[in-house]
Structure 1
Amino acid sequence: MRKFAVSSATIFISILLAGFYGILHDQVTYTIAPEYFTKFKYDQFGFEPQWFGGHRQTVAVIGFLATWWTGIFIGLGLGLTALIFRDHKTMRRAIQKAVVVTFCFAVATGVFGFFYGRFVLTKTGVDWWLPDNLVDKNAFITVGSIHNFSYLGELLGLVAGIYYLVRLNKLQRRQAIEAV
């Protein structure tokens, strides 16, 4: 029963962490290309900046809403996989480490997206929709790349986190057998 509670808590906490990550992520990307939000994301979400007190607050709301749902998949993937551990305490510690693995992949892939966008896509061009009246097209493309790669990073991070849990469980089982 305690393992089920840990698994359920993992889903809830992952939703909050994913939303918080989205807030931070979008604050950084707003700094790089405000137009990505003012000429794209605001329309996509149907928001006006004054609704939330200004641009930064609106970007924070968008960041949360754009990413919280990824936490469902991350939490389900990690929480259900971690049921393979022998008890809830071991399971909880393993999940905590797997969440760090997942987060690191998301951040690293987003950073890669920055460099790919800045140094490749701005030179080769993109087939995405771009607003007609962009002042800084390169910054817009760079931030679009960061956003796209970050979603990929969350998926890769989830796979890496699940892999970590499975490998850790095998290692712990082997150590338990050798200790006997």
Structure 2
Amino acid sequence: MPKIIKRAFIIIIFTLLAIMTAALYGALHDQISYSISPEYFTKLKFQQFGLNEYGLGSDRMNAAVVGILSTWWTGLFGGLIQGLVGLIQPKEMFWKSVFGAIIRTFIFAICLGLLGIVLGWFVISEFNTQWLIPESVIDRKAFLTVGTMHTSSYAGGLIGLMIGIIYQVKLKIKYKSNSL
């Protein structure tokens, strides 16, 4: 089998794994989010995703569905991008390079999501600003904390994607200098 076909197959596998990991991350992320602010889901997200009419019955399950639908696509793009960048590697470094880059992406998403909780609770929620919050929200602080957590997680994923690319380029440079 030609090298490019093998690598394309591996990229597809990595992308599928990244999609599944991102979806699982989203489901777990939104369980934490729901624990902090059920209103974020019942008064915003369930409406956005049409789960008020067609949900699974349980708010916890619906929160998991929101998480999956909100994140699977980040795994698609992240897995594809890191896989394509990994093509710069020699065959013996390809797996390590792509896997390491994807792991870095998820670590940054997790860390910035956790930082978002802290920022949301202690900083953002203290601003006396007219945020776009449904009028019926009772716990404004928790609602803003979860919103900040979600935004921070996406930012972490994007930063992690860039860090993963840098990691792969540095790995290539290191490998090339060791080969000389």
TM-score (norm 1): 0.92
Q: What residue identity is the alignment partner of 1:81?
A: V
Counterparts of 1:146 and 1:126, CA distance in 2: 18
- 1:76 pairs, out of 77, 80, 104, with 80
Cα distance in 2, alignment partners of residues 41 and 77 from structure 1: 28
Percent of paired sites with the same residue: 39
Which residue is equivalent to 2:94?
91
Q: Which residue of 2 aligns with 1:168?
A: 171
| Aligned residues between the structures | 176
Q: Give the alignment's TM-score, normalised by structure 2.
A: 0.92
* Aligned partner letter, 2:95: R
Among candidates 141, 144, 148, match of residue 145 of structure 1: 148
**Which residue number corresponds to residue 36 of structure 1?**
40
> Runs (4+) of structure 1 moved beyond 2 Å?
48-51, 125-128
**Quick one: distance in 2 between partners of 1:166 and 1:18?**
23
In 2 relative to 1, CA 169–27 (structure 1 residues): closer, same or farther, beyond 3 Å?
Answer: same
Residues 13-62 of structure 1, C-alpha deviations (whole Å, 9 max, x = no match) = 21111111101110111101110000100011110388314011111111
Instruction: Report the 3-state secondary structure (helix = DSSP H, G, I; strand = E; otherwise coil) of the residue aligned with 1:48.
Output: helix
Tell me the residue number matched to 2:118: 115
- Native 8 Å contact 1:49 1:55 kept in 2: no
Letter of the structure 2 residue corresponding to residue 27 of structure 1: Q
Which amino acid letter does the alignment assign opposite residue 174 of structure 2?
L
- In 2, the alpha carbon distance for the partners of 1:43 and 1:141 equals 17
CA separation in 2, counterparts of 1:54 and 1:114?
24
CA drift of 1:127 comes to 4.3
> What secondary structure does 2:143 align onto?
helix
Match 2:70 to one of 66, 69, 73: 66
> How far did 1:126 drift?
4.3
Runs (5+) with no aligned partner, structure 1: none
**Amino acid across the alignment from 1:104:** I
Q: Is the 8 A contact 1:49 1:58 kept in 2?
A: no
Query: Structure 2: which 5+ runs fail to align?
Result: none
Counterpart-to-counterpart distance in 1, 2:172 and 2:134: 49
Residue 130 (1) aligns with residue 133 (2): yes
- Deviation sequence 1:65-101 (CA, Å, 0-9, x none): 01111112201210000001111x5211221111111
The 1:114/1:137 distance shift into structure 2, 3 A limit, reads same
Q: Which amino acid aligns with 1:77?
A: I
CA RMSD of aligned residues (A): 1.5
